[in-house]
């Protein structure tokens, strides 16, 4: 089990897109004995500091970002616990700009290049396992959802311990 620390800013689908993705995540976590978690695209991970300060900066960020569309494209995988299996997010101007604004507000300009994605499975599996899952669920996803709010999540501990601190509507 991978332990994480701090807070993260998430963009979450709603309605049918949420239900469809949550079902896939839940089925995979059951089948592979891995943590279940809510469908989300991380806007900025690993925010460390006093909660009040992070809430304040997230509130400020929400005033600078307009609602925008997020398009999920192809399933892929990496040899990283939290990017074990994921759907890529199309890197549109809006997607990359929201991350750039978040980096600026949280003074995180030195972070590695943003790779927007929606995780389907956490864990460490051989490529053969990931390829098998992709064959089962399909490589191509053409799902879109509107990012209408930023959700601040406490990500201390294991995924089962994570919780939403507050949501911030985008103007």
Supply the DSSP symbol for 157: B
* Range 51-77 average pLDDT: 97
d(CA 152, CA 71): 21
pLDDT of residue 12: 98
Phi, psi of 169 (to 5 degrees): -70, 140
Is residue 1 predicted with pLDDT exceeding 70?
no
Buried b (16+ CB within 10 A) or exposed e, 123-161: bebeeebbeebbeeeeeebeeebebebbbbbbbeeebee
Top-tier CATH class for 7-169: alpha beta
Task: Report yes or no: 29 and 70 within 8 Å, Cβ to Cβ.
Answer: no
pLDDT of residue 5: 78
Buried b (16+ CB within 10 A) or exposed e, 69-96: ebbbbebebeeeebbbbbbbbeeeebbe
pLDDT of residue 147: 97
Where along the chain do its domains lie?
7-169
pLDDT digits (tens, 9 = 90+) for 16-49: 999 999 999 999 999 999 999 999 999 999 999 9
Helix (H, G, I), strand (E, B) or coil at 6: coil
pLDDT of residue 2: 63
71 token code pair? 């398009």
Q: Is the dihedral of CA 57, 171, 144, 99 positive or negative?
A: negative
pLDDT of residue 3: 63
pLDDT digits (tens, 9 = 90+) for 80-136: 999 999 999 999 999 999 999 999 999 999 999 999 999 999 999 999 999 999 999
d(CA 160, CA 33): 13
């Amino acid at each position: 089990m991978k332990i994480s620390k701090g807070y993260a800013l998430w963009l979450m689908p709603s309605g049918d897109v949420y239900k469809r993705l949550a079902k896939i995540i839940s089925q995979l976590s059951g089948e592979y004995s891995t943590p279940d978690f809510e469908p989300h695209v991380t806007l900025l991970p690993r925010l460390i500091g006093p909660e009040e300060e992070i809430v304040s900066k997230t509130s400020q960020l929400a005033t600078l970002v307009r609602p925008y569309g997020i398009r999920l494209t192809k399933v892929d995988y990496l040899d990283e616990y939290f990017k074990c299996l994921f759907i890529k997010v199309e890197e549109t101007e809006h997607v990359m700009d929201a991350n750039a604004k978040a980096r600026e507000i949280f003074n995180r300009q030195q972070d590695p290049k943003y790779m927007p994605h929606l995780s389907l499975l956490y864990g460490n599996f051989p490529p053969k396992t990931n390829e098998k899952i992709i064959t089962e669920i399909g490589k191509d996803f053409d799902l879109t959802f509107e990012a209408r709010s930023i959700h601040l999540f406490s990500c201390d501990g294991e995924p089962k311990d994570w919780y939403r601190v507050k949501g911030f509507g985008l103007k």
